[in-house]
Structure 1
Amino acid sequence: MKISLEKIENNTAHLKFEVDEEQFEKAMEQAYRKSVKRFVIPGFRRGKAPRKLIEMHYGPEVFYEDAAQIILPEVYKQGVEEYHLEPVDQPKYDIEQIEKGKPMIATAEVTVRPEVKLKEYKGLEVEKVVYNVTDEDVEKELAALQEKNARLIAVEDRPAQKGDIAVIDFDGKVDDKPFEGGKAENYPLELGSGVFIEGFEEQVIGMNPGEKKDINVTFPKDYKVENLAGKPAVFSVTLKELKKKELSPLDDEFAKDVSEFDTLEELKNDIKNKLIERAKAVEEGSLKASIIDKLMETTEVDIPHVMVDMEIDRLIMDFAINLKMRGYDLKTYMEATKITPQEFRERFHEKAHVNVKSSLILEEVARREGITVTDEETDAEIQKYADLAHKTIEEYKKNLKPEDISGIKDTILTKKIFDFLISNAKITEKKPEDIKKEQEQENSSKEEDYPKPEESPIEDASK
Structure 2
Amino acid sequence: MQVNETLNEGLKRGYAITVTAAELDAKVNEKLVEAQPEVEMKGFRKGKVPMALLKKQFGQRVMGEAMQESIDGAMNDHFEKSGDRPAMQPEVKMTNEDWKEGDDVEVTMTYEALPEIPELDMSKIKLEKLVVKADDAAVDEALANLAETAQDFKARKKGSKAKDGDQVVMDFVGKVDGEAFEGGSAEDYPLVLGSNSFIPGFEEQLVGVKAGEEKAVTVSFPEDYQAEHLKGKEATFDCTIKDVKEPVAAEVDDELAKKFGAEDLAGLKAQIAERLEAEYAGASRAVMKRGLLDQLDSMVDFDLPPTLVETEAGQIAHQLWHDENPDVEGHDHPEIETNDEHTKLATRRVRLGLLLAELGQKAEVQVTDAEMTQAIMNQARQYPGQERQFFEFVQQNQQMQQQLRAPLFEDKVIDHIADNAEVSEKEISKDDLQKAVEALEDE
- With the shorter chain as reference, the TM-score category is 0.5 to 0.7
8 Å Cα contact 1:31/1:66 also seen in 2:
no
Q: Give the TM-score taking structure 1 as reference length.
A: 0.54
CA contact (8 A) 2:154 2:248 kept: yes
Pairwise CA distance, 1:251 = 1.1
Corresponding residue number in structure 2 for 1:360: 354
CA contact (8 A) 2:287 2:437 kept: no
Q: TM-score, normalised by structure 2?
A: 0.56
Distance 1:384 1:119, change over 3 A: closer
In 2 relative to 1, CA 307–69 (structure 1 residues): closer, same or farther, beyond 3 Å?
A: farther
Counterpart-to-counterpart distance in 1, 2:437 and 2:153: 42
**1:298-342 Cα distance to aligned partner (Å, 9 max, x none):** 54453543477489889x99xxxxxxxxxxxx9xxx995366446
- 8 A Cα contact 2:193 2:207, kept in partner: no
Instruction: Output one character per residue of 1:17-54: Cα deviation in whole Å (capped at 9) or x when no partner.
Output: 23344421133346779999xxxx9999xxx8935645
Query: C-alpha distance in 1, partners of 2:246/2:416?
Result: 51
Are 1:424 and 2:421 counterparts?
yes
Distance in structure 2 (CA, Å) of the matches to 1:400 and 1:338: 26
Residue 305 to residue 140, structure 1, CA distance change in 2 (3 Å):
farther
* 1:247 aligns to 2:254 (yes or no): no
Against the structure 1 CA distance between its residues 435 and 62, is the aligned structure 2 distance closer, same or farther, given a 3 Å change threshold?
closer
Deviations 1:116-172 (A, max 9, x none): 578876523444333221111111211121111113567662585999976399xxx
1:372 and 2:375 aligned: no
Q: Distance in 1 between matches of 2:284 and 2:337?
A: 31
Output one character per residue of 1:265-319: Cα deviation in whole Å (capped at 9) or x when no partner: 11111111222222222222221121112323454453543477489889x99xx
Mapping for residues 251-330 of structure 1, pairs under 5 Å: 251-259=253-261, 261-297=262-298, 299-300=300-301, 301-306=303-308, 309=311
Deviation string 1:74-108 (CA, Å, 9 cap, x unpaired) is 21111111111112322221223555445433221
Task: Verify the 8 A CA contact 1:373 1:413 in the aligned structure 2.
Answer: no
Q: Which residue of 2 aligns with 1:26?
A: 26
Look up the SS of the partner of 2:124 in the other structure.
coil
Gaps of 5+ in 1: 170-182, 189-206, 211-239, 318-329, 386-398, 441-463
Tell me by how many angstroms 1:379 deviates: 8.8
Q: How does 1:85-124 map to 2 (within 5 A)?
A: 85-97=84-96, 98=99, 100-114=101-115, 122-124=123-125
Tell me which amino acid in the other structure corresponds to 2:421.
N
Give the corresponding residue for 1:140. Answer: 141
Residues 251, 96 of structure 1: alpha-carbon distance in 2 compared, 3 angstrom cutoff: same
Amino acid paired to 2:201: E
- The CA deviation string for residues 178-237 of structure 1, in whole angstroms up to 9 with x for no partner, is xxxxx963579xxxxxxxxxxxxxxxxxx9726xxxxxxxxxxxxxxxxxxxxxxxxxxx
User: C-alpha separation between the residues in 1 aligned to 2:270 and 2:428?
Assistant: 23
User: 1:4 and 1:371 mapped to 2: Cα distance?
Assistant: 36
> Which runs of 5 or more residues in structure 2 are unaligned?
168-191, 210-240, 376-393, 439-443
d(CA) in 2 for partners of 1:354, 1:186: 56
Q: C-alpha deviations, 1:385-444, integer Å up to 9, x for none?
A: 9xxxxxxxxxxxxx999977998798467525543345324647363555789999xxxx
For 2:77, the equivalent position in structure 1 comes to 78
Secondary structure in structure 1 of the residue aligned to 2:144: helix
Deviation of residue 243 (structure 1)? 6.5
Across the aligned residues of Structure 1 and Structure 2, the Cα RMSD in angstroms comes to: 5.6
Q: Distance in 1 between matches of 2:369 and 2:80?
A: 28
Q: Secondary structure of 2:250's match?
A: coil
Q: Contact 2:160 / 2:244 at 8 angstroms: preserved in 1?
A: no
Q: How many residues align?
A: 336
Structure 1 residue matching 2:251: 3-state secondary structure: coil
Aligned equivalents of 1:298 and 1:27: distance in 2?
50
- Find the aligned partners of 1:127 and 1:242 in 2 and give their Cα distance: 56
Aligned mates of 1:356, 1:163 — CA distance in 2: 55
Give the counterpart letter for 1:431 in structure 2. Answer: I
Decide whether the 8 Å contact of 2:112 with 2:305 is kept in 1: no
1:167 aligned counterpart, secondary structure:
coil
> Are residue 149 (structure 1) and residue 150 (structure 2) matched?
yes
CA offset at residue 4 of structure 1? 3.9
C-alpha distance in 2 between matches for 1:292 and 1:361: 10
Q: How far apart, in 2, do the equivalents of 1:82 and 1:413 lie?
A: 30
Q: Provide the rounded CA distance (Å) in 2 between the counterparts of 1:406 and 1:166.
A: 43
Q: In structure 2, what is the equivalent of residue 9 of structure 1?
A: 9
How far apart in 2 are the matches of 1:312 and 1:270?
A: 45
Q: Work out whether residues 92 and 107 of structure 2, in 8 Å CA contact, stay in contact via their aligned partners in 1.
A: yes
Using the alignment, how far apart are the partners of 1:285 and 1:168 within structure 2?
37
Would the aligned equivalents of 1:5 and 1:16 in 2 still touch at CA under 8 Å? Answer: yes
* Equivalent-residue separation in structure 1 for 2:155 and 2:332 (angstroms): 49
CA pair 281-161 structure 1, distance change in 2 beyond 3 A: same
Amino acid at match of 2:364: T
